[in-house]
Amino acid sequence: MESSRPPSLFCAYRDSPERRAALSEPPHGLSRYRLHGLDEFTRRGARVRHNLEREGRPAGWARAADNVVNSFLYKAGGYGGDFVSVLPSLREINAAEVVFSTVDTVGIPLVLLQRARLVRPPIVYIAIGLPERLVQLRGARMQGLYAGALRKTRAIISYAASEAQWLRDWLGPSGPPVHFIPFGVDVEAFRPDPERIPNVDVVSIGEDPRRDFELLATVGSRRPELRIRIVAGGANARRLGELPPNVEVETDITLEDVRDRLAGARVVVLPVRENSYSGATTVLLQAMAMAKPVIVSRTEAIAKGYGLEDGVNCRLVEPGNAGALERAVVETTTGAEDAVSLGIRARETVERSLSWERHTDALWRVLSGS
C-alpha cells in the first residue's frame, strides 16, 4: 500500500440501535464517537464503507448461515459472533484495502472468515474484552484455530494496556503487532459548565455489564444524607432490586442527557468489577473533560496508560471494596476545595493526552501504515 494515498477502508460495526442512530447524526454529533473515527478517516481522504449500509432485516441465507456456523463453533468448543452482520457485505469487504473491525462480535467472524480465505484484505482488529472470550475456548484444537486466525491480522488494537500485554503473551512471538491506544474524548463537546449548579451529590453512568452499581447502592444505604443518581442499562437496573430512598435509577437516556447528568453532579462515581478491558473509560473521560471530580475503580484497564493518579486528577479505589468506595465518596463530597482541584487537573489531563483527535490520529497511523 502506498502511504501517500489514503487507503480504502471497510469498517465493521456491531449492529445496534445506538450505532445506527450515530450514523444518522451529522458530523460532530455527540454519538459519532461510536463510529470509531469514521468522520476523521473520511476527512483524511479515505474511501470508507461499512456493514450497516443495508437497511432492514438481513437476508434469510445470512441468518441461516449465522445459525449454522455459531452452532458448530459452540459445540466444537469455540466462540462465535455476529456472522449475520458480516456475511452480506463480503463483496464490499473484499473490495477494500483494509478492514477495520471495531468490536469482537464482528471481529471474531472476520478473522475466521479470513482463515477460511473468504476475506482477503488485511484486518486491523480492535479487541474489547477479547481475553475473556479466548479463555472460554475448549481444547487445544480450538485454541490453535483462533490463535492462527488472529495471527493473520495486520494489527490488533486495545484500549487497555493490560489487555494488549495479555494478547501479546497469548499469541506469542509469531503474533501481529498489538498496539495499546488509549481511548479519547471530544474536549469541545464535553466542557466544564461553571454556571451549572449541581442538583445531586453523586452520579454514576454506564451500560457495561462490568459496572458494579450494587456496590454504590451499598454506599447509598450507609449514607442516607447523599443523593445518588444511577444511569444504567436495563439489565444492570433490573439487578439492583430494591434501593434506599436516596438512590434513584434512570435508564435509556440520550447522550445529551448523559452530558446533562454529568454536569449536574458534584462527584462522578464509577465502580467497576475487575476485568481486562473496561474501566468505565468512556464516561470517565467525559466526566474528566467536564472538570468533574471522579472516583473510579482501579481496574487493570485504566491502571496504566491513562495518566491517572490517585488524589491528583481522580480518586482510585480497589474494585469491590465498599469501605474504600464509601471513604472516597465522603471525602470528595465534603472536601469542596480538593474536589475542585481534582476536576481542574482532570480536565488538564484529557486536554493534554486523551483528546479524541489524539485517539483517532493513533488509529489512523495503524490503519494507513504510516
Q: Are residues 364 and 217 in the same domain?
A: no
Q: Which of 160, 370, 121, 337 is nearest to 168 (CA)?
A: 160
Number of compact structural domains in the chain: 2
- Asked whether residue 1 is assigned to any structural domain, the reply reads no
Question: Can you give the residue range of the structural domain that contains 132?
Answer: 9-184+356-368
pLDDT per position as a tens digit, 297-338: 999 999 999 999 999 999 999 999 999 999 999 999 998 788
CA dist 243 and 221 (Å) reads: 8
Grid cell, residue 270, equals 464509577
Task: Place 2 in a pLDDT band, splitting at 50, 70 and 90.
Answer: very low
Q: Are residues 29 and 161 in the same domain?
A: yes
Helix (H) or strand (E) segment spanning residue 17: helix 17-24
Q: Are residues 153 and 207 in the same domain?
A: no
CA dist 61 and 73 (Å) reads: 18
- Asked whether residue 360 is assigned to any structural domain, the reply reads yes
Q: Are residues 309 and 246 in the same domain?
A: yes
Read off the CATH number of the domain in which 239 is found: 3.40.50.2000
Mean pLDDT (the chain, rounded): 95
Tell me what the mean pLDDT of segment 102-128 comes to: 97
- Quick one: what percent of the chain has pLDDT higher than 90? 88
pTM of the predicted structure, to 2 decimals? 0.94
Q: How would you list the strands of the sheet with 294-297, edge to edge?
A: 247-251, 228-232, 200-206, 265-270, 294-297, 315-317
Tell me what the mean pLDDT of segment 283-293 comes to: 98
Does residue 187 have a pLDDT over 60? yes
Q: Are residues 83 and 34 in the same domain?
A: yes
Does residue 1 have a pLDDT over 50? no
Q: Are residues 345 and 259 in the same domain?
A: yes
DSSP 180-209: E----B-TTTS---TTPPP-EEEEEEE--T
